[in-house]
Amino acid sequence: MAEKSVNITVFGKVQGVGFRYHTRKAAQRFGVNGFVKNQVNGTVYVEAEGDELAVELFCEWCKKGPDWARVDRATICDAGVKDYSGFEIR
């Protein structure tokens, strides 16, 4: 059962740069479950949950993203746990 759950919206040059793929790889590396998807307004939306430390580390990664993306800012809000299994790209 996850201890911490967050909703993250990432702003910047985050579409068309493999951001979702690398977000999934980061989530798997940190042991975080949830999903990532592009939004019509050009942002990327993430729901992530897991061990508190894992989620914190994942959030820090999301604030930077992969090297070729440009993250201007990321908003992170606590959320209710939904018990995701795995991490998917939507």
Marked catalytic residue, from 38, 41, 73, 90: 38
Please state, in angstroms and rounded to a whole number, the distance separating the CA atoms of residues 69 and 40: 18
Active site residue 29: no
Helices then strands, counting H and E runs in the chain, come out as 2, 5
Contacts of 66 (CB under 8 A, 6+ apart): 17, 18, 19, 22
Catalytic entry in 7, 20, 70, 73: 20
Told to judge if 7 belongs to the known catalytic residues of this protein, a careful annotator would answer no
Catalytic residues: 20, 38
